[in-house]
Every structure is written in structure tokens, then in C-alpha cells.
Structure 1
Amino acid sequence: MGIRMTTRLEKVNKALLKEAERVERLTVRALARLGEQCVTKVRDRSGKDSWYDRTGNLRSSVGYVIAKNGSIIQYSDFNQVKQGSEGVKEGKELAEELVKRYSNDYVLVVVAGMNYAELVEAMDNKDVLASTDLWARDQVSKMLEKLKRQIAK
């Protein structure tokens, strides 16, 4: 006794590709949501709670990219604050450079791209990315559980 497959292989492949595309859309959407939340947490704080803008470059350099297998598939807006056009450029460049370190699977890279961001945190004892990094690490497991439920539907 055997099982005879009556569905054409092309239909099976089409269904599998469609499902893979759905999973990718859900994954990118979840990563983008987390990225947007991170950017908001970093950028939308007062100077007292973060740092005081002089040029706007540091705040303008905050953003994220999402990559799959080393190729960027989505950028956040690196919105310019004050005269911070240099920050926009530096943020995008740093995010693009960091993505090159991750050639497998999906990756979300959140940056504060100005070269003095760490100095602001260390010397001025101001929070640039540190608290958001801790918060995001905590959120990843929650995001993955939600993503698993969405994929299972």
C-alpha cells in the first residue's frame, strides 16, 4: 500500500515560497518595530535624561538597519535634528559597516553613529545607548515569542 501524491510539485513549491515570504514579512516587521522603539527611547529624551544637543549630530546619528544574510533590507529614518546633517551620514555609514559583521540570518543593528557617543556616556555620564541596549535585550525574547505565535497562525 502506498500514498499517491496528486498535487503537482509546482503547487507545493508555490505554497512553500508564499509561506516563506509571509514569515520573512513578519520577521522584518517585528525587527522594525523593535528598532523603532529603540530609536524612540534614545532620541526622544530630554537633555537632563540623556544629553544636551549642541549641533544635533549625535541625535541625528541614531537609527537602525535590518539585514538578512549580510544584505540590508530596511533602513530607519535617520532624521536630522538641528544642523545635524553630519550625524545622519555618520549614523548610516556606521550601521552599514556593522552589518558586514553579520552574514547569517537576520540582524537588527541600532546605532548612535557619531564617534563621540561612547565618550558622552563615559565622561559626561549621560545615557546614549546603554539603557536602550539593556531594554532591547530584554525585549528580544518577548518579540520572538510573539513572532512564533504569529507564524503559527
Structure 2
Amino acid sequence: MREEVDRALSYLGEQCIVRIRDRSAEDSWIDHTGNLRSSIGYAVYDYGKKYIESTFAVVRQGGKGASEGRKMVNELASKYANVYALVVVAGMNYAEFVEAIESKDVLASTESWARTKVDEYLNKAKDKAINRINKIKL
């Protein structure tokens, strides 16, 4: 069952990245350096152990952003030591400022969307696990 849950959360994480990074200019922030967009990524934690981490692909000259995103994901592992967790991050320290002051959506709408999808994805994972178990029994 763990494998299916980890895969479901990874897939949801990938979809979150696409939703955040690939918005139209009207729905997003102005991407001067590429650091904020490059700092967007996710990790799936399996009781504190990082199961998978996104690539933090560099956009424009956003190498610093990719590094900050990876750093944030690594720092969060201990926070999720007692649960399965999908954590989506914007690793640049000004991401909150962009949402709060500039009223631009960085993570907020995607977090809401992911919350509506997580049960669906976990139920599919459960069904896959049950099917695997039933095949073993035969």
C-alpha cells in the first residue's frame, strides 16, 4: 500500500508544479530572474523519510531558486516524521510577499485544488493496492 500512496502523492505533486509554473502572465507574477519559479517543487515524505523529490528545474537564470527550493524540502523532513505527506514549496523567501503584498497567486490556489484531489488520488491508490493483494491471493 505504501508504494501506491507514494506514487499517488508524487503524481499529485507533479500536477501541482505544472499548475504553479505554467500559468498565464495575467494569473501569475512577473518572473524577472526565474528564481521564484525555479524554487517551486515538492517532496513526498513517508514518515520523515523523503521518498521522492521534484527536480527543481531552473528557469531563466534561476539557479539560486532551485537551490533554495531543494534546501527548503530538506529542512522540512523532520516536520513530517509521523505522517505521509506531500509538501509543495516555493523556496524563495519572498514568495509570501508576492502573495500577500502583490496579491499574486504563488501557492494558494494550487493548495486549495490539491486538497480537493488528494482523497480521490488516495482512493485510487487504495484500489490499486487491493487489486495487487487479490492477484497475489490467486
Q: What is the TM-score when the length of structure 2 is the normalising length?
A: 0.91
Q: What corresponds to 1:144 in structure 2?
A: 122
Rounded Cα–Cα distance in structure 1 between residues aligned with 2:26 and 2:105: 10
Post-superposition CA distance 1:71-126 (Å, at most 9, x none): 11211110000000000000011111122211123211100110000100111110
Structure 2 residue runs of 5 or longer lacking an equivalent are 132-138
Pick aligned residue for 2:14 from 12, 15, 36: 36
1:12-70: CA deviations, max 9, x gaps? xxxxxxxxxxx222111111100000010000112211111000000000000111121
* SS of equivalent residue, structure 1 residue 78: coil
Corresponding residue for residue 102 of structure 2? 124
What does residue 51 of structure 1 align with?
A: 29
Equivalent residue of 1:81, what SS?
Answer: coil
Deviation >2 Å, runs of 4+: none
Using the alignment, how far apart are the partners of 1:37 and 1:150 within structure 2?
A: 20
Q: Which residue does the alignment assign to 1:104?
A: 82
Q: How many residues align?
A: 131
5+ unaligned residues in a row in structure 1: which ranges? 1-22
Largest Rg, 1 or 2: 1
Match of 2:91 among 105, 108, 113: 113
Instruction: Tell me how far apart the structure 2 counterparts of residues 52 and 76 of structure 1 sit (CA, whole Å).
Output: 23
How far off is 1:151 after superposition?
Answer: 1.3
* Structure 1 position 65 matched with structure 2 position 43: yes
Residue in 2 aligned with 1:25? 3
Higher relative contact order (CA 8 A, sep 6+): 2
- State the TM-score, normalizing by the size of structure 1: 0.82
Distance 2:91 2:65 in 1: 7
Q: Is the 8 A contact 2:5 2:126 kept in 1?
A: no
Amino acid at match of 1:78: F
Q: Name the stretch that deviates more: 78-87 or 94-103.
A: 94-103
Percent of aligned positions with the same letter in both sequences? 51
